[in-house]
Structure 1
């Protein structure tokens, strides 16, 4: 009996979209995992994605936008009418609203904000002014705060009256503010429920509060949550007024996204993010921005070989060691790049501290270069039975390792100082220089010792 394969999730989703069955569509989305939903959306074409959003209610569309990558969400928002986009954004968490608005072109963003509730639109504008990698850029404004003069009964009654609104809040803590609006305490829900209704909340609040400043950077937030096992932390401004709550999960997600973006930039993806659902010409342009520069740099490095082609033809064994020396030196240099990038992000290192970095890298480079040089020199000697060949390639690798770590440690500092992105430009510059210098060392040393190599 012939077996039929089960349709994939995206094929099922596409079929339901074609049928136009709204209830079945929402039920299907509820029953598939977030990862399956992301995969299904990536396989739908733009028309089907837009049809899907038109069928879904705003809250279901908001759920969908929270699950798919930001770049994909931005692309979809730009295709929607402003009023439709506004209804979806209004169903999202405040920090997600600000992130999406910031990712849009200014004209599109203003058109959507104009369709939103004025009070909520102003709140989004306020959050959008904070940098993405700060507590202000990551915080949510959906939190509960009450004046210190309130009683337990007033607070509980307020929570009951607004139960539907608060049901979407991440209610782990209830905060207390002073008459001047300063954060002065936090309430545990069990204390609220177990205390007499007439008790002033200032009597049962916890007065020792750990908060973060609105301008604290992502690395500082990571350190905070590593030290404290909290679900979230209150965010305060310069006057110690409560302006939001930053959640542990949002900090961890931001750190993961930053790592992904840095990895993409080091691989030459301009903009730090690419999805294959993006427009073809955009993807091509972003890649070519890096590749076109890189091919010029590689031609420069290869020109060194052309200059010494007579030496290379006389000692053909050198061709085996050229890529080894350039690759090993590049690896050593990229290790130095990674350390400098990390220290710059943690503010341990400042762009002007080049000499200190070079000295520290050369200390490591001398040890590693000598060990690697001896190893490759012995390999060349054993292979060809010629100690002079071993001396040439071993010396070249040792010296090039020193050059690579010195440059690898200092290039990110220089690029940072002149306002360029170290993650994007460090590796191609380092690779070109180590290739060119490595080829030069091997071939020039071989030329000097040519009588002993042939």
Structure 2
């Protein structure tokens, strides 16, 4: 067969290969795909084909495939496998991925899979899974080189050579030196290890009092740590100074990006991760769960307009400016929400500091409200040919802008204090309140000045 006649990965249907191809052929095909191609091809398979694929690949290659998939797809795929097969694949994953996948599994499936693993490994996975995702403990990997301080260079090098197969998989720059009880006491450069005499003790060539971080350090502080230090990774210790693992700069960067993506997704009403390869009815149900709440909130806002139908019918020009007032106030409020969300994530404010936030936002709200109110007032007055129309519309927007930034600034803090996800609830609440208040302000002011607006 000529080179031109040879099938490329893009020309082969993975589903056909899963159902009809040989195991070696399937493994070779998947090996040729890069991470993006793998994820795309597998997400396009039917659920039963995904199960067949993982079952037919070896555990190591199946683990590599899982690492390329979106979290929701990886979870569903591993849950569909027999517990023994799933455990073999889970065993091949890095420790941080093991913990993440374990946490996402149904409790019954998770227990069945853990029962198939070695007790020490199962205990380590459950311990890592106990840390919150946005902390050092939730991001750390346990695959580190930990050496005893009293060991000699010769014995250490011999030990490392004996463990060469495992160590080749790790990106090792440093080894961590521990005392009895796995207490972190130093960091060892591999260069220093190789150049030292065989009978030299590690405690004499290690870097003492190394920088380390606690397992409960939040993501925002991890970002700051790596901004301040040009490290590729840092050791993580528990409350008693024992080495737990290490967090890499790459892991922190990925977690930060994932958090931003998740916050944006939830602010748009996509509460659970959704992929277009999911069943249509399931996707519809996920979206409707949120949209149905929003329609109720919008009906509440629209009820204000219904209460002022007579005023609106007499001054129909107001209908032109109602959506402008609603939209501009919402935008101003969302800016305040974004600032509060960011400061909360960085630890710059606490949920109970609403009074300070309110004061800061009030100043911005007054300035921006006056500026926007003046601008829309001039436009509406010129459009209608009535200076009173400009006064009504401009005043309503100015007041509603102030209200929007005050509410937008403190709403995330209040929701955080009530243990409600600010990214999920801030937007709909803010939009409903600013719509209601905006409609009420402009229509009530118009009702008070109806004689000047109509006459």
Normalised by the size of structure 2, how large is the TM-score?
0.94
Instruction: Give the C-alpha shift of residue 10 in structure 1.
Output: 8.2
Contact residue 9 and residue 33 of structure 2 kept, 8 A: no
Match of 2:27 in 1: 26
Instruction: Give the C-alpha shift of residue 361 in structure 1.
Output: 0.8
Instruction: Give the C-alpha shift of residue 288 in structure 1.
Output: 2.4
SS of structure 2 residue aligned to 1:170: coil
Match of 1:80 in 2: 81
Instruction: Give the C-alpha shift of residue 147 in structure 1.
Output: 1.0
Within 2, Cα distance between the matches of 1:25 and 1:203? 52
Match of 2:435 in 1: 435
Within 2, Cα distance between the matches of 1:287 and 1:295? 12
Within 2, Cα distance between the matches of 1:7 and 1:371? 61
Contact residue 266 and residue 424 of structure 1 kept, 8 A: yes
Instruction: Give the C-alpha shift of residue 27 in structure 1.
Output: 2.3
Instruction: Give the C-alpha shift of residue 8 in structure 1.
Output: 7.7
Contact residue 397 and residue 438 of structure 2 kept, 8 A: yes
Of stretches 140-149 and 444-453 in structure 1, the one that deviates more from structure 2 is 444-453
Q: Kindly tell me: are residues 409 and 10 of structure 1, through their superposed partners in 2, closer, same or farther at Cα, counting changes over 3 Å?
A: farther
Match of 1:450 in 2: 450
Instruction: Give the C-alpha shift of residue 418 in structure 1.
Output: 2.1
Q: Kindly tell me: are residues 329 and 351 of structure 1, through their superposed partners in 2, closer, same or farther at Cα, counting changes over 3 Å?
A: same
- Residue correspondences, number: 449
Instruction: Give the C-alpha shift of residue 428 in structure 1.
Output: 0.7
User: Per-residue displacement from partner, 1:139-171 (whole Å, max 9, x unpaired)?
Assistant: 111111111111211111111111112222232
Instruction: Give the C-alpha shift of residue 294 in structure 1.
Output: 1.1
Match of 1:102 in 2: 103
1:350-429 alignment to 2 at 5 Å?
350-429=350-429
Contact residue 334 and residue 427 of structure 1 kept, 8 A: yes
Within 2, Cα distance between the matches of 1:418 and 1:186? 43
Unaligned residue ranges in structure 1 (runs of 5+): none
User: Per-residue displacement from partner, 1:409-443 (whole Å, max 9, x unpaired)?
Assistant: 12222222222222111111110111111111111
Confirm or deny that 1:211 pairs with 2:201: no
1:72-221 alignment to 2 at 5 Å?
72-221=73-222
1:58-73 alignment to 2 at 5 Å?
58-73=59-74
Within 2, Cα distance between the matches of 1:135 and 1:357? 29
Within 1, Cα distance between the matches of 2:285 and 2:420? 19
Within 1, Cα distance between the matches of 2:120 and 2:165? 20
Confirm or deny that 1:332 pairs with 2:344: no
Normalised by the size of structure 1, how large is the TM-score?
0.95
SS of structure 1 residue aligned to 2:93: coil
- CA RMSD after TM alignment: 1.8
Contact residue 237 and residue 243 of structure 2 kept, 8 A: yes
Within 2, Cα distance between the matches of 1:126 and 1:419? 24
Q: Kindly tell me: are residues 10 and 291 of structure 1, through their superposed partners in 2, closer, same or farther at Cα, counting changes over 3 Å?
A: farther
SS of structure 2 residue aligned to 1:256: helix
Contact residue 143 and residue 170 of structure 1 kept, 8 A: no
Match of 1:349 in 2: 349
Instruction: Give the C-alpha shift of residue 76 in structure 1.
Output: 0.6
User: Per-residue displacement from partner, 1:225-260 (whole Å, max 9, x unpaired)?
Assistant: 111121111011122111111111111111111111
Match of 1:283 in 2: 283
Contact residue 10 and residue 41 of structure 1 kept, 8 A: no
Q: Kindly tell me: are residues 136 and 390 of structure 1, through their superposed partners in 2, closer, same or farther at Cα, counting changes over 3 Å?
A: same
Within 2, Cα distance between the matches of 1:100 and 1:179? 32
SS of structure 2 residue aligned to 1:116: coil
User: Per-residue displacement from partner, 1:175-220 (whole Å, max 9, x unpaired)?
Assistant: 1112353211111111122222222222221124111111111111
Contact residue 65 and residue 73 of structure 1 kept, 8 A: yes
Within 1, Cα distance between the matches of 2:331 and 2:66? 39
Contact residue 9 and residue 32 of structure 2 kept, 8 A: no
1:227-306 alignment to 2 at 5 Å?
227-271=228-272, 273-306=273-306
